[in-house]
Structures are given as structure tokens and as C-alpha cells.
Amino acid sequence: MTEAQYRYKIAIIILSANISVFILIIALYAFGAFLPKETVAILQLLVPIKSTYMTALVKYVIENKYEITREKNISFQLSKLYISTTVIIISCHIIFLIISIIMFACNQVITDLHAMKASIVVIETLFGAYIGIIISDMFKVEKK
């Protein structure tokens, strides 16, 4: 798989996952799993973090809105280690976040708002640096 192909797939995964997390939170609130203050508290933690990730992605998309065609386009295959590592980190980040949101909604293990906030902080701290490195490397804007 080339870097361009992989970048496209990861961009779709990141975009879909972030939107899904917010849809999940709103759906759980609509079904009565969260109180209004709980929903606001969760969103206050997640919106700044997720918008940081999405900003790099959107900036890349806007800066690279035109496809460049070259007669001799040289592309390199990405290593399996790179692909595996990035998929595992991104997937675990979203899965852990979704699991903790659902556990809080069901009052299982995470039973109060303070524990939910702590859970989000731990997950975002644990994965934030790695996700930041992946996104900044993968979606850096190329000089024209």
C-alpha cells in the first residue's frame, strides 16, 4: 500500500471515528443515559481534543485539494510495522473512549461524572501524544 492510499484510508477512519463518538454521546443523552450536565462535561473535555486532531486533517485536505499528476510518479510502499502500529494506536484510542462512554452510560465501573472525566483524561493523555505524532506526520502540508 502506498502512503497516499494509506493516508486516505486513515483520514476516513479518523473522520468517521470522531463523528461516531459525538453521535454516540448525543444518542446516549437522547435515550436518557446522561444528564444534561454530564453530557456538557463530556463534550467540554472531548471537543477541544478532537478538534485539534481534525484541524490537522482538514488543513491537509484543504491545502491538497488538487491532485498532482506526474509522468513518473514514484511511490514507496509503507512497511507493515508502520501500518500495524498506526492502526493499533488509532483503533485502541477510539475503542477505549467508546467503551468508557458506554460504561458510564450503563453505570458499570465508571459510575459518576468525576470518574468519567478522569477516564477521558487518562485515555486522551495516553494516546494523545501518539495520535498527534501520527497525524502531524501523515497529514503535514507539503510545500508546493
pTM above 0.75, yes or no: yes
In a domain, 97, yes or no: yes
In terms of Cβ atoms closer than 10 Å to its own Cβ (0-12, 13-18, 19+), residue 62 is exposed
pLDDT tens track for 19-38? 999 999 999 999 999 999 99
Domain span at 90: 3-63+77-138
Label residue 51 by pLDDT band (50, 70, 90).
confident
Q: Residue 42 domain-assigned?
A: yes
Q: Determine, yes or no, domain membership for 13.
A: yes
Whether 17 is covered by a domain: the verdict is: yes
Name 57's Cβ contacts closer than 8 Å, sequence gap at least 6. 11, 14, 15, 135, 139
What would the pLDDT profile of 112-144 be if each residue is shown by its tens digit?
999 999 999 999 888 888 888 888 888 876 655
Residue 47 lies in a domain: yes
Number of domains in the chain: 1
Q: Assess if residue 131 is contained within a domain.
A: yes
Q: Which of 93, 80, 126 is nearest to 17 (CA)?
A: 93
DSSP calls for 12-26: HHHHHHHHHHHHHHH
